[in-house]
């Protein structure tokens, strides 16, 4: 009997991938909820590491007709002391009640592992970059070159040898150009030939072949093809993210932590959209400076508060290093809302004239102490200023946050996919 | 001395070939097994998980529930909560056995003997498999099913297909024909039968019967009900079949999907009835083959000890008060009964002669076992061959748990002379799918009224349906039927215990 032994190990993996995707799609709202819940509990650094999530089984339940209750009979192994007619207590440990039908009913939650990509996708699924359509037009300034088939005219540097030879070969076959070995064969036959008459016939044949070879060139100008190139608009695939933060004495650790969480989310979000994302940290008191991340969040600083200094520094950096036609610029500012009164005018001017025109997005996050009582009081000076600017039409996004748990909702709120604007753009 | 099959734990494909040849020699010559051609496939852990989630089949249509099972198995596998099976074997011709690549050479030998010869023989020879499954056609059918589902998704949309499949899956356990259909008689046979019947009537004719008073003749409405039920083939316990044939508003492709699910359920029906026998057979066969290979010197003592270790793990039966206990282990029970049959056939005691006069001392072990493997299912197998000696060995006892009984759970019978037969009958009943699955059938359709579909659940021993699940399944059923569905739970005295009525959900036009 023939026996086939087959090595299946090399078969492409991921056979269940499609089923898994279907499952995730079906459980999407549940999984999404779970993902958000998980990510709130997690440290923001590994918020997107993927990992185990738990969803209620309810929506994913596969119902069957199952029987339960009633009188039950069961045969069990391992009798030690019972004799016929004994009674066993129901609630005791010694009773064998736990077996039999109905097992597995208690399974009301379902745990499984999500990969990192799946996690990020679900985490950021319903978020959208603001005003993407508008900027796209501006982005077409940079162009790239892309191959686009073949052409009959072009510069010699662009000759496509393989395509040319291919066409020449086709033409030679079609026109029956004599092959080299055919001629050689005939020549050999002539050399070996002793009969004079036959020799004449062969010579005539040879002449004919040679003439034909001459008439039909090996490569004809007709055959020549050039590689064609097209210029295509190249989307800007890099982004820079400016993190501006007030580090004056009035900013507590808690506030900085809130800001940090927001920045992390923004970073992850941008990272998913752009190949290359740079971060610039600018901290300010009454002067602004560009610092590294460690200093930004943890370095000690003190002094008054001049927001305009940070905006000015950002403007300088953009001018020096990040040409707005090559970079998508995002900025997020976090502050407790204090600003010296005299600085208001300058800040407003810098923002509307210099910063906002080059930015894709500018978000202002006002952080408060846990408990949030500060917000019941009147608005801070910076908030009042920005609010005024926004009301006069500046594309500013601003939110207040005082609790860790609010960070994600606020972020979510800022980047929520706007159905209306999409529908407008579609037709 | 014969050559060793392998040295150490490593194996390659030549080793597998040698192992298979050696196993085949023992299986056919010594045990007289009759198997489908074998196809052995080596797979990775991930592929094993894949196979788990599509009920062990090499190809299957796509559905989210398989993704769910995959995610579940993967999570528990990664956490180390669950080991993977050493093999999966498919009832097809050629019989496909999947071997895990991690297995050592000894384990591969064990697995080949177990699956490629044990299970394979059982698949090919057991009457249930012969009756209900088509080993030659199953892979082609699955291929067809996969492509058909895919083309339906393209044509009618994934959501629609998913809805139909969800509903069909919910009813899968009640999409099975439990009895083979009536065979159509040809005309000649029919004529013969009519003649025999007439002859019988003449032979037993007695004028006295004419004088026996007849019951009231059937009323017109009763007759019309009878006619209608006959027209619809009622009562019908195969719900999927009934819907496929009679649901008023299903599209042809939906009927075909129900048919696919029904066929697959039917294909697995014998497996659920023969767990103990199937695993017992395979375990018995691998034990015999491995022992023989060891006797022949083809595997070393070390290999044999390695084998014994995993073999004893497989046939380990925890006692009822052991935390590891989760019912009878089909491997342990099946293997024990088959070894016991071997003992009865070769070295019977007086008790065995009394209990098993047909086989005691018959001396042809394999002949008896092959007959057992071919003609029994779990329920009849236990009812027939579980010996008193084995009941004593397992120290079996029977518990009767009546919620009405205040005093607690009664020990109804134990492994003594008074109890043997009762224990055995109860254990057999535990393995009877007829008792395990709820007995639900379509009894009527209100054709003159609102087309309500009426089902009955015949409640046995007071065990009713789980309410939430029942409602959900009925919802699926109503969606397919597209009119109201009611399920009535009745006990043996036709007393109504509970009634469900479910209306179909409106189909949203969105999707």
User: pLDDT of chain B along its 511 residues, tens only?
Assistant: 467 888 888 888 888 998 999 999 999 998 999 999 999 989 888 888 888 777 777 788 888 888 888 877 777 777 766 666 777 888 888 898 988 888 888 989 999 999 999 999 999 999 989 888 888 888 888 889 999 999 999 999 888 898 899 999 999 888 888 877 655 556 777 778 888 888 888 888 888 877 777 776 666 677 677 777 777 777 888 899 999 888 888 888 999 999 999 988 888 888 888 999 999 999 999 999 999 999 998 889 999 999 999 899 888 999 888 888 888 899 999 999 999 999 999 999 999 999 999 888 888 899 999 999 999 999 999 999 999 999 999 999 998 888 887 788 888 888 888 889 999 999 998 888 878 888 888 888 887 778 888 999 988 888 888 888 888 899 999 989 988 999 999 888 888 888 898 888 876 543 3
3-state secondary structure of A407: helix
Is A110 touching B (CB cutoff 8 A)? Answer: yes
Listed ranges A39-48, A245-254, B338-347; the one with the highest mean pLDDT: B338-347
Q: Which residues of B touch A86 (CB under 8 A)?
A: 410-411
Look at residue B8 in the predicted model and tell me its pLDDT.
80
Q: Read off the pLDDT band of A101 (50, 70, 90).
A: very low
Most A CBs within 10 Å: which of B92, B93, B399, B498, as the mutation test of the A interface?
Answer: B399
- Structure tokens given for A104: 């597995």
Cβ–Cβ gap B416/A84 under 8 Å: yes
C-alpha dist (Å) from residue B100 to A142, B14, B42, B47, B112: 54, 16, 6, 9, 11
SS3 of B202-232: HHCCCHHHHHCCCCCCCCHHHHHHHHHHHHC
B225/B235 Cα distance (integer angstroms):
12
Name residues 43-62 of chain B within 8 A of A (Cβ).
Answer: 43-44, 46-47, 49-50, 53-54, 62
Question: pLDDT (tens digit, 9 = 90+) per residue, A133-174?
Answer: 344 434 445 567 788 889 888 888 889 999 999 999 999 999
**Which residues on neighbouring strands pair with residue A76, listed in sequence order?**
B397
Return the residue matching tokens 């800040």. A347
Q: Choose the mutation target among A4, A26, A67 for the interface with B, i.e. most B CBs under 10 Å.
A: A67
Please tell me the predicted confidence (pLDDT) of residue A137.
38
Predicted pLDDT at B332: 92
List, for residues B244-273, the tens digit of each pLDDT value.
888 888 888 999 999 999 988 888 888 888
DSSP string for residues in B162-191: HHHHHHHHHTGGG----SPPPPPPPHHHHH
Give the model's pLDDT for residue A134.
40
DSSP 3-state percent helix, strand, coil across chain A (nearest 5): 45, 20, 35
Centre a 10 Å sphere on the Cβ of residue B286 and count the other Cβ atoms it contains.
27
Q: Nearest residue of B to residue A3 by CA position?
A: B38
Q: How far is residue A163 from each of residues A154, A223, A225, B508, measured CA to CA in Å?
A: 14, 8, 7, 55
Q: Is the minimum CB–CB distance between B354 and chain A shorter than 8 Å?
A: no
**A69: nearest CA in chain B?**
B463
ipTM: 0.78
Pairs across A and B, CB distance < 8 A: 265
What distance in Å separates the CA atoms of residue B291 and residue B289, rounded to the nearest whole number?
Answer: 5
Burial class (CB in 10 A: 0-12, 13-18, 19+), A54: middle
Closest-CA residue of B relative to A62 is: B170
A326 close contact with B: CB closer than 8 A? no
Q: Considering CB atoms only, which of A13, A88, A113 is closest to B78? A: A113
Chain segment B37-96, per-residue pLDDT in tens: 999 989 888 888 888 777 777 788 888 888 888 877 777 777 766 666 777 888 888 898
For residues A40 and B76, is the Cβ–Cβ distance under 8 A?
no
- Bond before A392 cis per omega within 30 degrees: no
Q: CB–CB of B68 and A72 under 8 A?
A: no
As given in the structure block, the two tokens for residue A142 are 């940079």
More confident residue, A426 or A261: A261
User: Distance, in angstroms, between B12 CA and closest chain A CA?
Assistant: 10
* Contact residues on chain B for A51, CB-CB shorter than 8 A: none
């Amino acid at each position: 009997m023939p026996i086939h032994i087959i090595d299946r190990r090399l078969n492409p993996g991921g056979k269940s991938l499609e089923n898994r995707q279907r499952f995730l799609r079906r459980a999407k709202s549940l999984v999404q909820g779970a993902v958000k819940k998980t990510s709130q509990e997690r440290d923001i650094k590994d918020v997107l590491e993927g990992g185990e999530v738990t969803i209620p089984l309810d929506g994913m339940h596969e119902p069957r007709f199952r029987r339960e209750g009633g009188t039950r009979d069961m045969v069990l192994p391992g009798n030690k002391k019972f004799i016929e007619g004994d009674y066993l207590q129901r609630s005791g440990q010694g009773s064998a009640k736990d077996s039999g039908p109905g097992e597995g009913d208690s399974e009301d939650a379902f745990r499984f592992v999500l990969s990192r990509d799946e996690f990020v996708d679900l985490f950021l699924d319903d978020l959208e970059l603001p005003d993407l359509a508008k900027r796209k037009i501006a982005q077409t300034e940079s162009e790239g070159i892309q191959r686009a088939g073949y052409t009959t005219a072009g510069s010699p540097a662009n000759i496509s040898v393989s395509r040319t030879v291919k066409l020449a070969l086709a033409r030679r076959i079609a026109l029956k150009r004599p092959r080299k070995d055919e001629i050689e064969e005939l020549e050999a036959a002539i050399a070996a030939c002793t009969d004079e008459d036959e020799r004449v016939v062969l010579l005539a044949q040879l002449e004919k072949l040679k003439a034909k070879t001459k008439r039909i060139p090996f490569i004809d100008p007709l055959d020549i093809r050039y590689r064609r190139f097209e210029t295509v608009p190249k989307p800007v695939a890099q982004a820079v993210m400016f993190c501006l933060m007030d580090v004056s004495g009035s900013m507590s650790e808690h506030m900085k932590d809130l800001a940090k969480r927001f920045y992390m989310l923004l970073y992850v979000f941008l990272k998913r959209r752009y190949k290359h994302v740079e971060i610039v940290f600018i901290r300010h008191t009454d002067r602004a400076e560009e610092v590294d991340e460690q200093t930004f969040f943890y370095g000690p600083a003190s002094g008054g508060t001049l927001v305009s200094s940070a905006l000015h520094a950002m403007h300088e950096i953009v001018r020096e290093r990040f040409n707005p036609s090559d970079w998508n610029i995002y900025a997020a500012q976090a502050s407790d809302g204090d600003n010296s009164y005299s600085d208001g005018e300058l800040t407003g001017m810098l923002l509307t004239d210099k910063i906002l025109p080059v930015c894709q997005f500018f978000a202002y996050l006002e952080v408060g102490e846990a408990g949030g009582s500060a917000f019941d009081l009147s608005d801070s000076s910076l908030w009042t200023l920005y609010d005024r600017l926004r009301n006069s039409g500046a594309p500013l996004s601003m939110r207040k946050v005082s609790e860790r748990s609010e960070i994600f909702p606020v972020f979510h709120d800022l980047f929520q996919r706007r159905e209306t604007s999409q529908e407008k753009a579609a037709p | 001395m014969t050559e060793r099959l392998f040295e150490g734990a490593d194996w390659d494909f030549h080793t597998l070939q040698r192992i298979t040849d050696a196993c085949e020699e023992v299986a056919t010559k010594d045990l007289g097994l009759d198997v489908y051609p074998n196809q052995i496939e080596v797979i990775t852990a991930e592929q094993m998980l894949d196979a788990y989630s599509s009920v062990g089949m090499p190809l299957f249509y796509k559905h989210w529930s398989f993704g769910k099972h995959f995610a579940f198995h993967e999570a528990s596998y990664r956490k180390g909560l669950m080991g993977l099976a050493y093999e999966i074997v498919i009832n097809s011709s050629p019989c496909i056995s999947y071997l895990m690549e991690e297995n050592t050479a000894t384990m591969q030998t064990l697995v080949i003997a177990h699956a490629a010869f044990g299970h394979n023989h059982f698949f090919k020879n057991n009457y249930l498999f012969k009756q209900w499954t088509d080993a030659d056609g199953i892979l082609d059918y699955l291929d067809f099913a996969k492509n058909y589902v895919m083309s339906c998704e393209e044509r009618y949309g994934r959501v629609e297909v998913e809805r139909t499949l969800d509903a069909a899956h919910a009813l899968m356990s009640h999409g099975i024909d439990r009895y083979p259909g009536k065979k159509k008689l040809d005309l000649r046979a029919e004529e013969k039968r009519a003649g025999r019947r007439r002859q019988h009537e003449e032979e037993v004719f007695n004028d006295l019967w004419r004088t026996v008073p007849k019951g009231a003749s059937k009323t017109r409405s009763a007759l019309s009900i009878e006619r209608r039920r006959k027209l619809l083939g009622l009562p019908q316990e195969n719900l999927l079949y009934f819907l496929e044939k009679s649901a008023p508003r299903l599209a042809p492709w939906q009927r075909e999907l129900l048919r696919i699910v029904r066929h697959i359920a039917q294909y697995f029906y014998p497996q659920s009835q023969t767990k103990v026998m199937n695993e017992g057979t395979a375990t018995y066969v691998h034990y015999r083959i491995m022992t023989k290979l060891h006797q022949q010197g083809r595997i070393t003592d070390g290999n044999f000890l390695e084998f014994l270790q995993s073999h004893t793990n497989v046939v380990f039966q925890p006692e009822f008060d052991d935390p590891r206990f989760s019912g009878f282990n089909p491997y342990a029970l099946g293997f024990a009964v088959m070894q016991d049959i071997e003992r009865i056939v070769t070295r019977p005691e007086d008790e065995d002669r009394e209990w098993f006069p047909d086989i005691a001392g018959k001396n042809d072990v394999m002949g008896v076992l092959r007959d057992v493997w071919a003609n029994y299912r779990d329920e009849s197998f236990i009812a027939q061959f579980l010996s008193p000696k084995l009941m004593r060995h397992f120290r079996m006892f029977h518990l009767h748990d009546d919620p009405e009984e205040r005093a607690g759970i009664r020990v109804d019978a134990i492994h003594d002379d008074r109890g043997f037969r009762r224990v055995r009958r109860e254990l057999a009943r535990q393995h009877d799918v007829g008792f395990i699955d709820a007995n639900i059938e379509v009894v009527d359709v209100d054709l003159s009224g609102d087309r309500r579909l009426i089902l009955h659940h015949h409640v046995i021993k007071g065990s009713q349906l789980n309410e939430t699940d029942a409602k959900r399944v009925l919802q699926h059923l109503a969606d397919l039927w597209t009119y109201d569905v009611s399920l009535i739970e009745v006990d043996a005295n036709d007393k109504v215990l509970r009634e469900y009525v479910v209306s179909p959900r409106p189909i949203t036009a969105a999707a």
